Structure 1
C-alpha cells in the first residue's frame, strides 16, 4: 500500500478489531474523496470506539478531519478525513445500505 495516510487509517481500524475491512479507490470520478473505507463492527459502542480512535490517529498524524457523524445509538458512524471517508457499520446496517454495490465499478480492495 503506497498511501501512508490510508495505511494509518486501516491499521487504526484493525487495531480496534474492525471486521470485513475494504477500501475503494474513487479518486478518478469523485472530487470529494480519494478513498472510501468500509468496516463492520459488533455494536454501536464498537463503532464509536473506532470513530474515536480514528479521530485521535488523524490528529497525531496531521490528517485533517472535516467531521465525525453518528450518535451513540447509530448503526453507522462516518468519519470524513478529507480524502478518506470512513464508514463504520454494524453488520445489519452494512447489508441494508450496501455501499459496496453502489461503488462496484471501482477498484475494491479487501484488507482482512
Structure 2
C-alpha cells in the first residue's frame, strides 16, 4: 500500500506536470508487484520540447520540496523521460511513445491513485470553470 508521503509526492509531481500542460496524468500504486517503488506517475506531452519542460518542472518542484532525485533518463531525446525519486518514478512521454509502449496495459492490474489538481484560475482571479 502506498504511503501518505508517496501520495503527497504524486500530487506535487502531478501539479507540476499540469502547470506545464501535461496531459493524461495517471498514477499507479505499484507497491505490491515492485517492493522498491510505491508509485508510477505517467504524463503525456505533444512535443519533445513539452516533454523536457514538464520533466524539468517536476524535477525542480520536487527538489524544492526537499525530495532527492536518484536518477533521470531520456533527457537527450526527450521522447520518454524517466525521473526516479525513490518511492515515486515519473514517466513523461511524447504521446506517440506512450501509445507505443503502453505502460497502462502492463500495470492495469495495479490500483490507481486519484490525482487532485488545483482548480484552474481565470484571468479575473476566480477559480473554477465556465
Aligned to 1:19: 23
Q: Distance in 2 between matches of 1:37 and 1:60?
A: 19
63, 70, 78: which one aligns with 1:74:
78
What TM-score, normalized to structure 2?
A: 0.78
Alignment: residue pair count = 111
Pair 1:69–1:49, CA change in 2 (3 A) = same
Using the size of structure 1 for normalisation, the TM-score is 0.90
Pick the structure with greater CA Rg.
Answer: 2
1:8, 1:110 → 2: CA distance? Answer: 13
Give the structure 2 partner of residue 90 of structure 1.
94
Taking only aligned residues, the RMSD between alpha carbons, in angstroms, comes to: 1.6
Distance (whole Å) between structure 1 residues aligned to residue 108 and residue 99 of structure 2:
14
What stretches of structure 1 of length at least 5 have no aligned partner? none
Structure 2: 5+ residue stretches without partners? 118-130
Q: CA deviation at 1:98?
A: 0.5
Structure 1 runs of 4+ with >2 Å offset: 71-74, 108-112
